[in-house]
Amino acid sequence: MLSRWKNTAACAAAMVTTALPVGVASTAQAAPQDCPNMYVVAVPGTWETSNTDPGKGMLAAVADNLPGNVRTDYVVYPATAFPWEGDVYGRSKQEAVDHARGLVAEMALRCESTRFALLGYSQGADAAGDLASEIGTGLSVVPPSRVALVGLISDPKRSPTDTLIGPPVGGAGAGGSRLNGFGWLSPQTYTFCAAGDLYCATPDGDFAARFAGLFAQISNPNPAMFGSYQQQANALIADALAAGGLGLLADQLNNSAYEERKRQVDDFLKSGIHQSYPSYAIGGGATPLTWLRQRLIEATRN
């Protein structure tokens, strides 16, 4: 089994090596030739980084200057959401997933005893969560046993069954839940979502927003994923039918409903809720950033 993981990691590393210079911004605490005890791969959120202007964003407060033999790399990717920005959401997110997977594969191949942590915020949480799902279900470049922690802040694919740290929050991610969950990584995976953050807490009955989220997810369709897309669409249609039929969706898309939705979205964007996580209280005087940093420090000691 171990040799299978090594062979998989070697193949993935070979494919991504040429992309690494534009796919990573590093804050290493160990020299590049050394093997860290912990390797943190952090994926910034939408507009926090870009291929031409790499940035760390909110996650720097979690992963910079960690004590001990730790290396942190920040994934660089387009981090765009709209077609007029150059990349549609689906393509931007997939680039983040591919770069993050490549970093993990390269480190896993070079350093057999290094353990991993995956962090993501917003679109970055979408990407980091997808990679964690791959690893947790045995479909990626390292075995789940090598991943110590996954932290997802405002995950657009948050499921109500994910382990939420902080006050209870209704709804789910705008992009719909991951069909396979996190598998063997479920005990190591934590999510954070503030009430009113429409990216991670779209109300269950807001089917127009849920369809919009699904369309964003599949805006760069992969033919190999068509079965998964159909499953997600069928689940969403079934929920709409159970809630009142497709007429309910039509009611949510008429002119008056559109104007009301536009006002709600404008109010949400102005509220700053999506950017509130550095100060969002989750209990015990902690915020998502301080809580994750403490868990990382603890993981490096184990």
Q: pLDDT tens digits, residue range 147-162?
A: 999 999 999 999 999 9
208: in domain: no
Q: What pLDDT, in 10s, does the model give residues 66-123?
A: 999 999 999 999 998 765 566 788 889 999 999 999 999 999 999 999 999 999 999 9
164: in domain: yes
Query: How far are the Cα atoms of 82, 175, 207, 218, 262 from residue 150, in angstroms, in the given order?
Result: 27, 19, 29, 24, 34
**Tell me, what CATH number does 48's domain have?**
3.40.50.1820
pLDDT (0 to 100) of residue 32:
47
267: in domain: no
264: in domain: no
Helix or strand or coil: residue 231? helix
How confident is residue 30, by pLDDT bands cut at 50, 70 and 90? very low
209: in domain: no
* β-strand pairing of 38-43 with 70-75: parallel
Q: What pLDDT, in 10s, does the model give residues 31-42?
A: 446 899 999 999
Q: What pLDDT, in 10s, does the model give residues 230-262?
A: 665 566 555 554 555 555 555 555 555 556 565
65: in domain: yes
Q: Is pLDDT of 142 > 90?
A: yes
Give the total number of structural domains in the chain: 1
- pTM surpassing 0.85? no
pLDDT (0 to 100) of residue 284:
96
141: in domain: yes
74: in domain: yes
pLDDT (0 to 100) of residue 100:
98
Structure tokens at 281: 């209280």
Domain span including residue 10: 2-201+274-301
